[in-house]
Amino acid sequence: MVVAGDKDLSKRGALKVLFVYRDYPPETDGGGGSYLAAIAPALVLRGHDVHILSCVRGQQAGTYFDRGVHIHRADQLRIPGLDRLTRALAAPFTFARIRAGLSVLAHYRRLDVHFDVIEIADWGAEGWALALVHSKPIVAQLHTPLAVIARYSDVRNKRDWAWASRLEHFAVHRADVITSPTSTQLRSFHEVGWLKGRDVITIPHTVDWYSWSDALPVQESPPTVLFLGRLERNKAPELVVQALRIIQRRIPDAKALFVGRSIGERDGLPYLEWVKLEASKTGGCEFMGQVPRSEVCRFLSMSRVLAVPSHFESYSMATLEAMAAGRPVVVTAATGAAELVRNADAGRVVPAGDPEALAAALLPFLADAAYAMTVGERAKAATRTELDPDRIAAQREAAYRQAIAVFYRRVRVSDRFELAKGH
């Protein structure tokens, strides 16, 4: 049944918004966490009541406020026999998503808050159980589902990935509205058959540019390339190593910093160890591991340019944060932020998988600090205009109101159908 007044929320009024994302800094972080850290407070400043539900296995439960946002942290459910079933069927990705979705639904009900709209993400399928129940309007945000990254990964158990991918697909396609940070990204989703018959609203990510304004001026930084993100096959950190080898023929003291944790394996080695082996043929590579979010600005200050050599990247919050810190960026054409970089003339866009092209794009910034500063200033200006938090929050608000309208229109049709059946 339609609750009186709910339909009016599609046009006006403050909203109660729930984000279902495992990552939110500082306890848990990642691309989704960086996205939430920027957009959630911006929605609060527009007068909305914003909550984030983070369900992570082994996480200490608790609720607190961060810049006006309600953060609800919870452990995942202990489901008898699920671990044994996971091992028996050799399907860790699938059962991790089953556990995550059921945990989210259970803790969502315990919150006992009447939310107007819920936002879920594709990766991890955390919202699949909420989408199954579908008692509230849902917005699905496209990030990086397994169906896309499987094309760039060493998939050993294809059956497990296929099942897990179906859960992610189910959660997204049950949503009332689907959003994406870039139209460039959508090509990859169409290629894996994810978006048949669905419209997608494009809304860029925002970045809290003020938080990155403390970075040192780029002209004071040494000729160092920064790689910021997970060390994994899809993000291709080894391409930075290979590009640096070429660059050092012209700039012997050029260096590369790698900040991020290792994910997965390659050739039987943890990915970090595999990249280090590749880097042993090249001097000047430093691996810092995962660092607290509060330390990222320091590493940006130590670098003159950011490299994002990914085979696929939904939008790359690291790109936006580096731009906000006044750094030029070099990204691949497979990165969602490529369009912004081109339009703002904030760096260079290169083909994925091409270390020579990457080296040629990085070289001018490493060789000329003044030029890096000029381009970095354009990058910084773009984050303050094109990605202004209030501007992007207004666009997300419009998407939420559209989801509310779609949801209650469907409910009214269902009510009329049930009434007709009764007669």
For the cut 50, the answer to whether the pLDDT of residue 277 exceeds it is yes
Cα(352)–Cα(313) distance, integer angstroms: 11
For the cut 50, the answer to whether the pLDDT of residue 417 exceeds it is no
Helices (H), 75-157: 82-89, 92-111, 128-133, 146-149
* 209-385 CATH: 3.40.50.2000
pTM, rounded to two decimals: 0.89
In this chain, the answer to whether the domains covering 6-206+389-422 and 209-385 adopt an identical fold is: yes
pLDDT at 327: 97
pLDDT at 130: 98
Span 190-206, pLDDT tens digits: 888 888 889 999 999 99
Span 325-346, pLDDT tens digits: 999 999 999 888 999 999 999 9
pLDDT at 26: 79
**Does domain 6-206+389-422 correspond to CATH entry 3.40.50.2000?**
yes
pLDDT at 413: 62
> Which range, of 123-127, 186-190, 212-216, averages the lowest pLDDT?
186-190
66 CB burial (10 A radius; 0-12, 13-18, 19+): middle
> Which range, of 150-164, 195-209, 399-413, averages the lowest pLDDT?
150-164
42 compared with 209, residue with greater pLDDT? 42
Cα(77)–Cα(88) distance, integer angstroms: 20
Span 6-33, pLDDT tens digits: 455 556 789 999 999 998 887 777 778 8
For the cut 90, the answer to whether the pLDDT of residue 312 exceeds it is no
For the cut 90, the answer to whether the pLDDT of residue 399 exceeds it is yes
351 CB burial (10 A radius; 0-12, 13-18, 19+): exposed
State the average pLDDT over residues 117-146: 95
pLDDT at 243: 97
State the average pLDDT over residues 342-368: 97
> What ranges do the domains of the chain cover?
6-206+389-422, 209-385
For 12-55, give the DSSP string: SS--EEEEE-S-BTTTB-SHHHHHHHHHHHHHHHTT-EEEEEEE
Which tokens is 166 given? 């179906």
- The whole-chain average pLDDT of the chain stands at 90
